[in-house]
Amino acid sequence: MSSVSSHVLDATTGRPAAGVHLTLSRLDDDGAFTVVHSGITDADGRVGGWNTGPGLHRLRFDTGDWFADRGTDTFYPEVEIVFTADDGHHHVPLLLSPFAYSTYRGS
């Protein structure tokens, strides 16, 4: 069994990005991504503990809506991170600003 978590930080303020909608999808046998979990980051910008199987996954963050709620335009209306999960835990942080983002495999 695999599990996935994420932590979203607003790089412009240095604070957690609370209220970001995101979905976790897994590639199925038909070659299509199927949503297996969805949620909203908490006050600390975190979401997770989502159990899933191994394989190719996609995390989709609704960054456009999050920035719009704060009266800010963004170049990236959504961020998609595709990664391969094996057995074990996978933490996928997202550092976010209106015109840039970065991610890495966390611990």
Each residue's pLDDT expressed in tens, for the chain with a length of 107 residues: 899 999 999 999 999 999 999 999 999 999 999 999 999 999 999 998 899 999 999 999 999 999 999 999 999 999 999 999 998 999 999 999 999 999 999 98
- CA 47 to CA 77: how far, in whole Å? 20
Strand partners, 70: none
> Is the whole-model pTM more than 0.85?
yes
48 Cβ neighbours under 8 A, 6+ residues apart: 3, 4, 5, 6, 91
All domains in the chain, ordered by first residue: 2-103 (2.60.40.180)
For residue 42, give Cα distances in angstroms to 22, 56, 99.
Answer: 12, 25, 23
DSSP 8-state code for residue 55? E
